[in-house]
């Protein structure tokens, strides 16, 4: 697999897993203690080769992703499902526990935030689709996020994530049809 971008990961174990699966170069944030020097390195990498943010599907990973995105909004994003990152003994969660093929697939399915075009998803649409404000909302959001490969997101963040990755009304509608078919 040939990846020209530099992959931003949380730590050394993630670097080992990404290099094993893809041979790609990485920058480590050293967990959620991401500092200005690291952000400057990521900015330089974005300007020279491009960056794919690839953090764990947990709160610290989402926090790191948000910090990077705020400072460098043009980075790309790759996601793994939580179930793909659980340690064999069940005592950990992270990219370092993922299978090589899952890592490769996630890095082939990256999203770029397009800051020029605008997609707006009304909250009313999300409520009608039972993605927020409904007893089944959490389960439906998890499956929607999995199908769209946009990473796990809570109800509050769903609208932002869909809009950030410019998920069209057509794409959303297609995935909602799949969800409805799975439920029947």
Quickly name the fold that domain 6-112 has: Rossmann fold (3.40.50)
Going edge to edge, which strands form the sheet with 26-28? 26-28, 6-9, 51-53, 76-77, 111-112
pLDDT above 70: residue 115: no
Q: H or E stretch including 27?
A: strand 26-28
Backbone angles phi, psi at 68, to 5 degrees: -65, -45
Q: Residue 118's pLDDT is what?
A: 67
44's CB contacts (< 8 A; 6+ apart) are none
What does pTM read for this prediction? 0.72
Paired tokens of 57: 């599907």
**Domain residue ranges in the chain:** 6-112, 123-183
For the segment 156-165, what is each residue's pLDDT rounded down to a tens digit?
Answer: 889 988 887 8
Percentage of the chain exceeding pLDDT 90: 56
Confidence of residue 50 (pLDDT cuts 50, 70, 90): very high
Region 32-47: mean pLDDT is 92
Q: Residue 29's pLDDT is what?
A: 95
Confidence of residue 33 (pLDDT cuts 50, 70, 90): confident
Paired tokens of 71: 């400072």
For the segment 73-110, what is each residue's pLDDT rounded down to a tens digit?
Answer: 889 999 998 888 888 887 788 899 999 999 999 998 88
How wide is the angle at C-alpha 71 spanned by C-alphas 43 and 158, nearest 5°? 125
Closest-CA residue to 93 (of 67, 62, 138): 62
Region 171-178: mean pLDDT is 92
């Amino acid at each position: 697999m040939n990846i020209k971008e530099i992959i931003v990961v949380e730590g050394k174990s993630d670097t080992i897993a990404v290099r094993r699966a893809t041979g790609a170069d990485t920058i480590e944030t050293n967990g959620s203690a991401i500092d200005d020097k690291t952000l400057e390195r990521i900015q330089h990498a974005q300007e020279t080769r491009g960056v794919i943010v690839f953090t764990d599907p947990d709160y610290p990973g989402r926090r790191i992703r948000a910090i990077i995105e705020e400072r460098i909004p043009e980075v790309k994003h790759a996601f793994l499902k939580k179930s793909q990152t659980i340690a064999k003994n069940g005592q950990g969660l992270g990219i370092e526990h993922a299978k090589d093929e899952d890592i490769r697939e996630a890095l082939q399915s990256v999203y770029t935030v397009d800051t020029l075009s605008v997609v707006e998803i009304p909250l009313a649409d999300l409520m009608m689709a039972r993605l927020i404000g409904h007893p089944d909302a959490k389960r439906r959001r998890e499956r929607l996020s999995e199908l769209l490969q946009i990473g796990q997101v809570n109800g509050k963040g769903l609208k932002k994530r869909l809009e950030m990755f410019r998920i069209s009304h057509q794409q959303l509608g297609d995935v909602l049809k799949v969800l409805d078919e799975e439920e029947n």
